[in-house]
Amino acid sequence: MSDLSYFMENDDETLRLEIKTDLDNVKRQALWAGLRPGMRVADLACGPGKTTQLFHDLVQPQGSAVGIDGSANRIAHAEKTHSPNGPAFFCRNLLEPLDDIAPFDFIWVRFFLEYHKTDAFQIVKNISRLLNPGGILCLVDLDYNCLSHYGIPERMQRTISRVIHVLENKEDFDPRVGIKLYSFLYDLGFENIDVMMEPHHLIFGELGAVDEFNWTTKVEVAVKKFQFLLDEYENGYDAFYDEFKKAFSNPRRFTYTPLISCRGRRPAGG
């Protein structure tokens, strides 16, 4: 699928997602949400499929997992990397019907709604119809995505805020989708809704290799696209990039993003 509107797309995106996915955290969150052996699970926007393989393992015996993503590159990677008797993968646009692959007992949607600000509620509504009655939907996303840093130069903070603002308007990015997840499930009549909030991208002290690669790629992909926003930097992107590298590797800077997980059960008669 080549017409996917995903502004983070680049040659390293599969690798970035693979490297930054912390399976211990995902396991803890999925068990909290109610993932249990025997379930049929959908991992929507599964990226390289690392989380799908985890879910497949967690629902044994007798459960199964399906990973769906719109990137042919990431689905090919998932099919090549994960066990032949493991999850099934599909390259599909999640904005189009998926009824032929449904139904599911548990649906997991992490870091996808942030890329679909306008249609997020309608997407969740469509997804909820793929659940068996009594099935669980777990939405996981960020609030103030990329916006909470302290100890970086003020012009850099201003520039990052402007880039995010343009991404909202031009790419339908929603840096505050995390705060909306509860209302989505509430408005759809979900039962037993629960919410968990924890820090994501909590960075202080020495910069680790995973954070360095993740944030450098984000800057290279997102900021490079909007060089007209770099008017506070006399040498444009190169000057911004140098300042960013210096600021992010300074152990005094403090960065975090609130991660919000919201789970609920589709009503038996819903």
Ligand X SMILES: C[S@@+](CC[C@H](N)C(=O)[O-])C[C@H]1O[C@@H](n2cnc3c(N)ncnc32)[C@H](O)[C@@H]1O
Distance CA 208, CA 249 (A): 9
- 117 is a site residue for ligand X (CB under 6 A): no
Among positions 21, 53, 145, 261, the unique one binding ligand X when judged by CB under 6 A = 21
Only segment of 55-63, 111-119, 231-239, 245-253 that touches ligand X (CB under 6 A):
111-119
**Alpha carbon 216 to its chain's center:** 17
User: Residue 93 interacts with ligand X (CB under 6 A)?
Assistant: yes
What's the chain's length in residues?
Answer: 270
Q: Does 45 bind ligand X (CB under 6 A)?
A: yes
29 part of the interface to ligand X, by CB under 6 A = no
Q: Does the protein bind ligand X through residue 4 (CB under 6 A)?
A: yes
**Pick from 29, 52, 53, 71: which binds ligand X (CB under 6 A)?**
71
171 near ligand X (CB under 6 A): no
- Partner residues linked to 196 by β-bridges: 261
Cα angle 52, 5, 114 (rounded to 5 degrees) comes to 60
5-20: burial string, b at 16+ Cβ within 10 Å, e else: eeebeeeebbebbbbb
If binding is defined by CB under 6 A, does position 145 make contact with ligand X? no
- Name which position in 89, 104, 106, 111 contacts ligand X (CB under 6 A): 111
Q: How far is the CB of 156 from ligand X (least distance, A)?
A: 23
C-alpha dihedral sign at 213, 243, 218, 12 = negative
Please report whether residue 214 would count as binding ligand X according to CB under 6 A. no
Element of type H or E holding 124: helix 120-128
Q: Residue 47, interface with ligand X (CB under 6 A)?
A: yes
Look at residues 56, 9, 74, 28 and name the one whose alpha carbon lies nearest to residue 198: 28
Q: Does 112 bind ligand X (CB under 6 A)?
A: yes
Binding-site ranges for ligand X (CB under 6 A): 4, 6, 17, 21, 45-47, 51, 69-71, 74, 93-95, 110-112, 115
